[in-house]
Amino acid sequence: MAKLDSDIVIVTNDMDVFSLRKFREEFPQRFIDVGVAEQNLINVASGLASTGKKVIVFGLLSFLTTRCYEQIKLNICGMKLPVVIVGIGPGLSFSYDGPTHHSISDIGSFRLIPNLQILNPSGTRTAKKSAQKALDFDRPTLVRLDKGTFRQPFDDRNIEDGLVEHIPGKQNLIIYTG
């Protein structure tokens, strides 16, 4: 998409992630690393989006939740800017990095923000569908991504309907998200 649309910009907070390296090499003028400054990250993203750029914010979910919550709530969602926020590491994905990297309350916090669409893929197939939906750039969107790749437990269904599997004769109930 970035090859076809010169308005796509990625803004990150000091993330050296393999998936961003290729974008940074191919489109250095559309890759902005603000450093460890999450509040500034959201301010830069909202400023770019207000000028018509299609902005993707990429950062650790724990930092996006706690360090710049007000900026997301007011500057992106309050203004209904179509910024895609990709938060990496829900739950204890970065368990060995300590409590600053744990993101166990993000979904509860973000659900309180009006105008924010939350996408929480549970595997490769739903991650692809979530990306397609988010990259429509029609509203503020948070995509929660775990680190690593995971088997998709369900077939190719509409992710907006939710995913339910009922096995007759079984009495167990398993609920999972992301």
pLDDT in tens, 8-41: 999 998 767 777 899 999 999 999 999 999 999 9
Q: How far apart are CA 72 and CA 77, in angstroms?
A: 6
Q: What does 73-109 look like in DSSP terms, one character per residue?
A: IIIIITTT--PEEEEE--BTTTGGG-GGG-BSSHHHH
Mean pLDDT for the chain overall: 85
8 Å CB contact between 8 and 56: yes
pTM of the model: 0.83
Q: What is the pLDDT of residues 64-104, one digit of tens each?
A: 888 899 999 999 999 999 999 998 887 767 767 777 776 77
